[in-house]
Structure 1
Amino acid sequence: MFKDTVIVLSTILLLQGCAAAVVAGTAGAVTAAHDRRTIGAQIDDNNIEIKSALALSEIPRLEKYANLDTISVNGIVLLIGQVANQEMKMQAQQAIENVNGIRKIHNQIRIGSNISITTKTHDSWLTSKVKAQLLTAKNISSNNIKVVTENSEVFLMGLVSDAEAAIAVELARNVSGVERVIKVFEYL
């Protein structure tokens, strides 16, 4: 009897993991289907982000002392984070310039100390608040706007119309705690 109970419970636990995987996979597929980028462009963007991270990690000085991230939407790359000086900022950009598929780089690296975990947590909260505003807004497709927050600066990326960009910027500017909104849009 005990053995049967353990088998049943184990099966249930394993199936819960499968259910979560199915839900996550379905959510990803729905998001991908509503994205204005082709599936190929979405895959290319993912590859650009991975290859850029690898290129940056190959420079010991950047790997050890900098806090850097790359986000790609349709081959347009946002390079963010913190470095100690202008030389390191340029070195980071040069490190990713030869990554295949990049059409343009927006180097928004800030010179200064790396941000704290508290600031990163606050940034995640701001991103959530901006996304919630976009999700409930009329005349805008929030699926086509990527929101990235770094040190209370909100970066908006995606393939959008002029009207969608204006709405998104206005919504983001009015979120409490957002210090600056930077557009990295590609216009339709």
Structure 2
Amino acid sequence: MTEHLGTDGKNHLQRLASLRRPLAAIALCCSVAVSLQGCVEMMVGGAVMGSLAATDRRTFGAQTEDKTIVFKGESRVSKLIGEAGHVNVNSFNRKVLLTGEVRDEAMKAAVEREINAIENVASVVNELEIAGVSSFSSRSNDTLITGKVKAAFVDAKDLFANSIKVVTERGNVYLMGLVTQTEGARAAEVTRNVGGVQKVIKVFDYITEDELRQLSTTQDKQTAR
């Protein structure tokens, strides 16, 4: 087709071709920049997740089992109670905490049996209430309280916030984790001073000061690798 174009036409095509090259380069640079940004985010995210995992005193195996227990527990409970109740399943170091509301004592016992039947569950703390299903506003308030308690742990400086799991139900705060007696008492004290908290229930697994030092040494070695 170019043989039918005059000089002006050929010059015009040459100018277009010269424009395409820098535009293509710009597009390539943008693509590379986006890819690099994704890589950086993955690297930073991985570093953060690695750091958080290192401060969790459970073994990686226990962490994985806890996630599996919660997944299976929520699925089984949902099928068991349907719309007749509201049950939260939390697991820390294979100890399961049940909170929420159920219709009657029979349903409360049935839920506990169902959870106990899950593989790797070490024990069940059944804190289910015989009551009507809690409202959305009540659950939203519980979420707010949980956030405030976690923030208070961070502000306290002398607590390892990532070693403690906070569960709130109807203003009652349940504390789970692997802690020493001193840490458990301190965590409960801090929690009681948070606005909106009705009661503090400790569901801790206690370790000695020597066991804590051993855990810290092991985690330091794992982090160094």
Normalised to the residue count of structure 1, the TM-score between the two structures is 0.87
User: Which 5+ residue runs of structure 2 have no aligned equivalent?
Assistant: 1-21, 208-225
User: Whole-Å Cα distance in 2 between the matches of residues 95 and 145 of structure 1?
Assistant: 26
Match of 2:103 among 84, 106, 114: 84
Deviation per CA, 1:77-107, whole angstroms, max 9, x where unpaired? 1011111111111111111111011111000
Deviation per CA, 1:132-188, whole angstroms, max 9, x where unpaired? 111121432111101111111100000000000000001101111000111100000
Change (3 A) 1:20 1:56: farther
Matched, 1:57 2:85: no
The alignment covers a number of residue pairs equal to: 186
Taking the TM superposition and a 5 Å limit, the aligned residue runs for 1:98-177 are 98-177=117-196
Q: Which residue of 1 aligns with 2:57?
A: 36
Q: Which residue of 1 aligns with 2:18?
A: none
Higher helix share: 2
Q: Which residue of 2 aligns with 1:95?
A: 114
Change (3 A) 1:42 1:6: same
Measured after TM superposition, the shift of residue 65 of structure 1 is 1.5
Deviation per CA, 1:30-75, whole angstroms, max 9, x where unpaired? 211111111111111111111111221232xx12221111111101
User: Whole-Å Cα distance in 1 between the matches of residues 32 and 198 of structure 2?
Assistant: 49
- Which letter does structure 1 place at the counterpart of 2:182? A
User: Whole-Å Cα distance in 2 between the matches of residues 152 and 96 of structure 1?
Assistant: 24
Larger-Rg structure: 2
Measured after TM superposition, the shift of residue 16 of structure 1 is 6.5
User: Whole-Å Cα distance in 2 between the matches of residues 17 and 116 of structure 1?
Assistant: 40
Per the alignment, in what secondary structure is the counterpart of residue 133 of structure 2? coil
User: Whole-Å Cα distance in 2 between the matches of residues 104 and 152 of structure 1?
Assistant: 24
- What is the RMSD of the two structures over their aligned residues, measured on CA atoms? 2.3
Measured after TM superposition, the shift of residue 11 of structure 1 is 8.1
Q: Which residue of 2 aligns with 1:67?
A: 86
Change (3 A) 1:102 1:172: same
Measured after TM superposition, the shift of residue 22 of structure 1 is 5.2
User: Whole-Å Cα distance in 2 between the matches of residues 6 and 81 of structure 1?
Assistant: 54
User: Whole-Å Cα distance in 1 between the matches of residues 58 and 23 of structure 2?
Assistant: 53
Range that drifts further, 9-18 or 32-41: 9-18
Normalised to the residue count of structure 2, the TM-score between the two structures is 0.73
Measured after TM superposition, the shift of residue 26 of structure 1 is 3.6
Q: Deviation above 2 Å: which 4+ runs of structure 1?
A: 1-29
